[in-house]
Amino acid sequence: MLLDAFAPLETAPAVFEIGMVLLLAVGAGWIARRLGLPAVLGYLAAGLIVSPFTPGYVADRNQLQVLADVGVVLLLFEVGIEVNPLRLGREHRSVLWAAPAQVVITTLAAGGGAYLLGVSLAGSALIGLSIAISSSVVVVNITRSRRRTTNPATEAALLSWSVMQDMTGVAFALVLLAGLGLADRPPATAAVFILAFVALVAAAAWVLPRMLGRLHSEHDLFLLLSVGSGLALAGLGARFFGVPLALAAFVAGLAVGESPAAAEARRRILPFRDLFAVLFFVSLGSLIDPSAVPGALPWLAFLLGAVALAKLVPVLLFSRLARIPDVRHWQMAVGLGQIGEFSFVLASIVLGRALIPPTLYSALLAAVVVTIVISTTLVKVGRRPVPAPATAAG
């Protein structure tokens, strides 16, 4: 009776549905890993199974979306915590210029191609940027999978490159949102609000580490402050400063990332991030309409070609120019050769503003799946597996 008072019967179906979706994701993720693929593909497949575009049970997308939003916020917040420019400068100084150079070249080449095919300038710019950035979740899976074939130098370079891609991509996205009039305010006003949010995060970067340091021995309060600050800063950025939620979450993660408590905060956030990130990928999978894929095939061909020519080739080139010791350059290029979660966020922004056709959006969702399969399969070719513990996210 007491439980009924706090959990009305109306909420029972929602709780049951979330539980069943998670169990379905477990099964699909397990099958994907047995096939040598990342569990992310299983989560996407689970979303497709419960989507309105396939026969059978249809999950309530509204409630999944709320949890998925929390998932992508924690996902990119944790990626922001992972960013440590000082450490990158010590360990992979050449990546500090090589990865941003690749992002610029890929964005210009892929965005230019989209523009020539009739996409608006603003839409082309963000689509180009979405192709330039890889999936942090997939890169982590490649470097820490039980069946990984990368050597330690390549793994470290992959992670550093991916982090710099994210950092460069967020900076470019904020500039494009303000400069191309994609924000809800005039460009000049939007730029001021974005700078104000950055100033707020800078202040948080001074306060939060000190608070976390004081709570280090109080595990429950440390965790609450870590998660709560990420959600609150991201929500503030989106609600009052006009910064998209996912981008604000990444910037908020930077506030913690430079502190001594960063590693501990990341470690404690990971289980929650993994749980909600699964729902994010399930939600993403539920958006895929198989019947729309045939009409989107020309765009899908363009996106795959752009990944191959405008992304893999520059990564391979700049990886060699960077002269990173003991790195397998082909594995670097292939390991970064996918479209991921951050790209979906950017594509959703331009679709919401009607800057790209729906067929291009459908093609991008399909490209996420195809490039993840190709990247995680080819990166293992020709090398013996090196045993390593798998991560929950992968």
pLDDT tens digits, one per residue of 351-373: 878 888 889 999 998 898 899 88
Separation of alpha carbons 209 and 203, rounded Å: 11
Sorted by where each begins, the domain ranges of the chain are 2-378
The CATH code for residues 2-378 is 1.20.1530.20
Separation of alpha carbons 134 and 238, rounded Å: 23
- Alpha helix locations (H) across 215-310? 219-240, 245-257, 262-285, 293-306
Question: Across the chain, which distance is largest between two alpha carbons, in Å?
Answer: 68
Separation of alpha carbons 81 and 83, rounded Å: 5
Percent of the chain with pLDDT over 90: 18
User: What Cα–Cα distance (Å) separates residue 3 from each residue in 6, 14, 17, 20, 191?
Assistant: 5, 16, 18, 21, 49
Predicted model pTM? 0.80
Write down the pLDDT at residue 389: 47
DSSP character at residue 390: P
Q: Dihedral of the CA atoms 49, 52, 54, 58 (nearest 10)? A: 50
- 72 vs 338: which has the higher pLDDT: 338
Write down the pLDDT at residue 314: 94
Write down the pLDDT at residue 245: 77
Separation of alpha carbons 191 and 314, rounded Å: 30
pLDDT band at residue 4, thresholds of 50, 70 and 90? Answer: low
pLDDT tens digits, one per residue of 238-274: 888 878 777 788 777 777 766 666 667 777 777 777 7
Q: Is the pLDDT of residue 210 over 70?
A: yes
Nearest to 360, CA basis, from 116, 123, 108, 72: 123
